[in-house]
Amino acid sequence: MPRLLTVFLVVAAALLAGCSTSADRASSPGALPVSAPRDAYVLLSGGGTPLSNNYSQYLQARALAEHLGRACPPEAVWIFFGAGNRPDAPLILADARRETRRDGLVLQSWEPGVLPHNRAATRDNFLRALRDEILPRVRDGGTLHLFVGDHGELAGKGDARESAITLWQLKPGRRGSGWITDDKEILGVAELRRVLATGLGRGRVVFCMTQCHSGGFHELGVAREPVPPREWFARLPAWAAVKSKYPRLPIAGFTATDEDSLAAGCDADPIPERWAGYERFLPEAILGRDLMTGAALGPAAPTYVAAHEAATLVDRTIDKPRTTSDHLLDGWARFIETRLVATLEADPAVLQAVAAYQRAVDTGRLAAHPADPALREKQALFARFTARLAEQVPAAKELLLTGTRAQLDAAIRGRGERPAGGGPRGGARRGQLAELRKVWTDTLRPAWKAAVLRGDVPGLAGGALDLEKHLLGLEDGGRDFFLPRGGGDALINEIYWRSGYANPATLDRPRAEAAARWGAERRTRIVAWGKAAADPAVRAAAEKIGPAPALADEPARALSRQTAAERVLFYRRVLAAWEFLTATGAREALAEIGALTAIEGTPLPLVGAN
């Protein structure tokens, strides 16, 4: 799954909202009056490098791009994916990594992520288009529909830490000397907010993001720290007088998780039984179609929020889906718990509401039947979410339905516990690996290398032989691909470049597949050769090392007790904060909730287009 990621911005929620007016469809953007409100549909995905830009991201982006191509005028659509491969131009690089399980092996391959009208998903490409093309289209009252379907990460430190989208990082080296990875190819919340604030005008943004650490992007439209009404305090504390330094923008949407957490999905080996997460479920709810097969799943969702709700109900992964209005209320909950609980300067009615908030979080029940229809609707929705979680994690049913806050907190803190027993400790395992590396380096490898260079290994030819000679040369310089430290990414990287997969225009597929297969079975094949060697020392070394561990066909990971508890506690805190704001008459905050939920409820008029 995506690491810190983990992230890219598929501003393709376009399909989530519908396309331009009939006037838009009948003429080019230049022929329209400058004042005409027009929507923009943008897809940005495929970030990182060919090692991390997994095939599931391409499946997601391809489905959305195809939908946009059918439903929207081409002048209203922008697509940014990976290296920028498109059908009407020479292919650049294979930028989508795919794994296939065959014969007990995991075989690597790569495909060019070809999409119509595609541009490379780099920071410069995206921001330049955003400033010069996209925002001018929406600034007089249109909507920018944004879907982020990539890797995400946390950037910065301390107070400057923020969610960021990982953009396409592979770039040509200086003077044409190969390719380099630029880890500065990221786009954070603060920079994206600045660009939007400058050019959005009277437009608005609705977004969906499925990458790791995506939750921080809710702060495109809301402040991290809420500002309380002055009338709450008999004497205004200094911390309550601080004003927000960010403009309040008409931006709202949906994310797979919060700022601090990884998200599910992002799979190089997506198969129907195992590929799961908001990355898959949200687009499928939007389209009403299976992302892998294109088969109809049912009616497409009528609104963004309906798609989010449908995806959340079936998401049994580590995801923690949320909306911008939820994020705003979560900020108020944090404010109540860290600020208002600790002050005696608040009005008695406010302190009474604080006590009611604490009871609501602890019991999962609001003080009274909410008068606000929107709060009642959210309460009913979260009750459905909680009931579904109780079904999905039956062993935690009582905890999720009736547990106290302390019990939920205890379940959440239990995430890092180690199971009793298990395999060897880290130090012992490291010692075993060091011993095996010595046996490989001193005995098995010299004999193996000599046989390879003599051409004395049956069945080793073509792409496999070329890759093996290349690996042996790198190992002569100190690299280790046989028993590597930290996993097999270094070997996968060599397979990508040496097999020919990197250059799709000149790809010899049988030769590339032979190299990829050799990379997957290298250790097993070398050990088998060593066991049949005439030299008893070589045979003994091969016996000691043994073949690579058998591939386990792992089932999809079940929803954990910890994640279910986190989701339920989040729901309770959001509802209790909303009730608190209603009880204290926080008109400005309640109006902000209403404005955000209006954007979140943007209809999807393209429901019949697919």
Q: What is the DSSP letter of 279?
A: H
What's the full length of the chain, in residues? 610
- Helices of type H across 139-221: 189-199
Instruction: Please state the φ and ψ torsions of residue 417, each to the nearest 5 degrees.
Output: -70, 145
**pTM of the complete model:** 0.90
Q: Are 353 and 584 in contact (CB under 8 A)?
A: yes
DSSP-assigned letters across all residues of 589-610: HHHHHHHHHHHHT-B-GGGG--
Low-confidence ranges of the chain (pLDDT < 70): 1-37, 176, 415-430, 486-487, 552-557, 605-610
Q: So what's the pLDDT on residue 552? A: 66
DSSP-assigned letters across all residues of 224-264: SS----GGGBSS--GGGSPPPSS---SEEEEESS-TTS--S
Q: So what's the pLDDT on residue 432? A: 85
Q: So what's the pLDDT on residue 241? A: 81
Q: What is the DSSP letter of 114?
A: -
Q: So what's the pLDDT on residue 567? A: 98
**DSSP H/E element including 496:** helix 489-499
Q: Which of 534, 536, 339, 327 is nearest to 451 (CA)?
A: 534
Give the burial class of 459: count Cβ atoms within 10 A of its Cβ; 0-12 exposed, 13-18 middle, 19 or more buried: exposed
Q: So what's the pLDDT on residue 71? A: 80
Q: So what's the pLDDT on residue 433? A: 86
Burial pattern 517-537, b for ≥16 Cβ within 10 A else e, equals bbbbbbbbbbbebbbebeeee
What whole-number percentage of the chain has pLDDT above 70?
89
Q: What's the rounded Cα separation, in Å, for the pair 142 and 163?
A: 26
- Helices of type H across 315-372: 324-338, 348-363
Q: What's the rounded Cα separation, in Å, for the pair 378 and 326?
A: 10
